[in-house]
Structure 1
């Protein structure tokens, strides 16, 4: 880290997929693959839904797909079976997913200087296992997964660590992350690999990857 790089004394809350690991697209495809045998129109509707619904627990996504796209009544047992299929499909691929450019460098440079947290819609036990296997746990004061939903998880994290909302920044790649930040009164930086398809309002500070996160934090 160069001497002229500095950021305000923010607490930083990172989403995981698409922010720390380049795994958001991988996970969307794994979701879609569960419905590969569905009629083409339904499969396309599933893909379209997944493209705009990042940052939600997988149970929520599967229940919406089953009930509102496929028109089925989804039992809890059915949802849990779909979640198991998804977990089995994605687990090994997550261990090989590359980091988002700049992510490891930022975490390494700043984890001793700022309070860093990880907040994901991935089930918490599964999230912690991946974080440990990828040797990322040392960077974060706390790793938080689902349940609850992202907004509640952020609110609970702020309360547990007695953080000031206006001095806390959520860093996420989905509108759901942005909504969680807004509902809790925190600042927000959006990560979007394709700015032309950004899910965020025009006034949101966005970056393509974490190589420019320091500069983005100084724009807030």
Structure 2
């Protein structure tokens, strides 16, 4: 099993949306920043910073700018993520999955070091065998794990709430479980997926 993190494990998706808007408050591009973030949920934040600089602010983007924005972003979100509730039904679902001795991996767009720190602080380590984040892409992570663990695509399932999660499942030819949210309702209406629900509370 492969899992995205924000919006799948914890209700932390909106926290990061709000943080993106806050970073660019006063630029006049707040709505465009929000729209770009929502359309590219699961994409590494540093890629979004670069796109915003070059396409909205019309300025050259440097590595130093990205690092400073990343630092401010982390400061805005970490405390809130550490107190965010579980997505309804996730704890019960993952507990059942682990009781079946199923291998579980996180593949997220959150920077890997930050993600692993959150997993440890939230005492989520027993739920997952491996935890990976950016800069590697989700499909790259999944392919490497599948090859190393000799997992067949037909035996795997990717849980996600973003277009990048769905695309990673397609690229690795595994089935997809969509955590359906209003923000991406247009996207979910246009694509196909095997399973979907607003949360995990009704999964038996």
Residue ranges of structure 1 left out of the alignment (5+ in a row):
1-11, 215-220
Distance, in Å, in 2 between the alignment partners of 1:112 and 1:141 is 13
What's the secondary structure of 2:192's corresponding residue? coil
What's the secondary structure of 2:168's corresponding residue? helix
For 2:93, the equivalent position in structure 1 comes to 106
For 2:40, the equivalent position in structure 1 comes to 53
Within a 5 Å distance, the mapping from 1:197-212 to structure 2 comes to 197-200=185-188, 201-204=190-193, 205-212=195-202
Distance, in Å, in 1 between the alignment partners of 2:106 and 2:40 is 19
**Maintained 8 Å contact 1:151/1:181:** yes
Equivalenced residue count is 201
Distance 1:157 1:50, change over 3 A: same
Within a 5 Å distance, the mapping from 1:54-73 to structure 2 comes to 54-73=41-60
For 2:2, the equivalent position in structure 1 comes to 13
What does the per-residue CA deviation read over 1:120-166, in whole Å, with 9 as the maximum and x for residues that have no partner?
11111111110111111101111111121122112112122221112
What does the per-residue CA deviation read over 1:50-77, in whole Å, with 9 as the maximum and x for residues that have no partner?
1211011111111111111211110111
**CA-atom RMSD in angstroms:** 1.5
What's the secondary structure of 1:203's corresponding residue? coil
For 1:87, the equivalent position in structure 2 comes to 74
Q: 2:12 aligns with which of 23, 45, 68?
A: 23
**Maintained 8 Å contact 1:192/1:198:** no
If the length of structure 1 is used for normalisation, what is the TM-score? 0.87
Residue 209 of structure 1 deviates from its aligned partner by 0.5
Residue 195 of structure 1 deviates from its aligned partner by 8.6
If the length of structure 2 is used for normalisation, what is the TM-score? 0.93
**Maintained 8 Å contact 2:162/2:184:** no
What's the secondary structure of 1:132's corresponding residue? helix
**Maintained 8 Å contact 1:195/1:208:** no
Distance 1:198 1:138, change over 3 A: farther
